[in-house]
Amino acid sequence: MNPFELIKSISNTKKDILENEKDYNAFMVNRGLSYFPDTVIYANEMNRFHHLDQRLQYHFLINTIRKRNRFSKWNKSIESENISVIKQYYGYSNEKARDVLPLLSNENLKYIRGRIQHGGIQR
């Protein structure tokens, strides 16, 4: 069972579909509910009481949140071309590449792009 089905059951259908506690991913459910102004407080409460049983968290959310259609796109990080070039050239992680990017000039980035080019037709 994926977290999206659980969020749908909490916010829209109000049917208890949790069969196994291991199916409940509290982080993902709370993250999904945090995108809406009327459910962010409940998600924050469950973050505060993360030590509670998963079934108890699920039943709290399903019984306190009002029935409503809630759809949102999940935020995803956007990786720039410069960061991917730095990662490939230096072998850095995403975080290190973001830290190094302000230190490099445009000439440095142009040089690095030239060094990692593997051939082919450049247009």
CA–CA separation, 67 and 18 (whole Å): 18
Nearest CA to 42 among 6, 11, 1?
11
Average pLDDT of the chain is 89
How many residues can be counted in the chain?
123
What's the pTM value of the predicted model, to 2 decimals? 0.62
Percent of the chain residues topping a pLDDT of 70: 93
pLDDT in tens, 34-79: 999 999 999 999 999 999 999 999 999 999 999 999 887 777 776 7
Which of 23, 39, 64 finishes a domain?
Answer: 64
For 120, list phi and psi in degrees, rounded to 5.
95, 180
Asked if residue 100 and residue 59 are part of one domain, the reply reads: no
Would you say 62 and 9 are in contact if contact means Cβ atoms under 8 Å apart? yes
Q: Is 76 domain-assigned?
A: no
Min mean pLDDT across 15-19, 49-53, 118-122 is at 118-122
CA–CA separation, 59 and 32 (whole Å): 16
Q: Is 46 domain-assigned?
A: yes
Question: Measured between alpha carbons, how far is residue 69 from residues 8, 32, 86 in Å?
Answer: 8, 13, 42
For 112, list phi and psi in degrees, rounded to 5.
-65, -40
Asked if residue 56 and residue 12 are part of one domain, the reply reads: yes
59: helix, strand or coil: helix
Asked if residue 86 and residue 56 are part of one domain, the reply reads: no
| Res 23 pLDDT > 90 | no
Domain ranges, residue 107: 81-116
Work out how many domains the chain is built from and give that number.
Answer: 2
Q: Is 60 domain-assigned?
A: yes
pLDDT in tens, 67-83: 999 887 777 776 788 99
In this prediction, residue 22 has a pLDDT band, given cuts at 50, 70 and 90, of confident
In this structure, what token pair is assigned to residue 40?
Answer: 């962010």
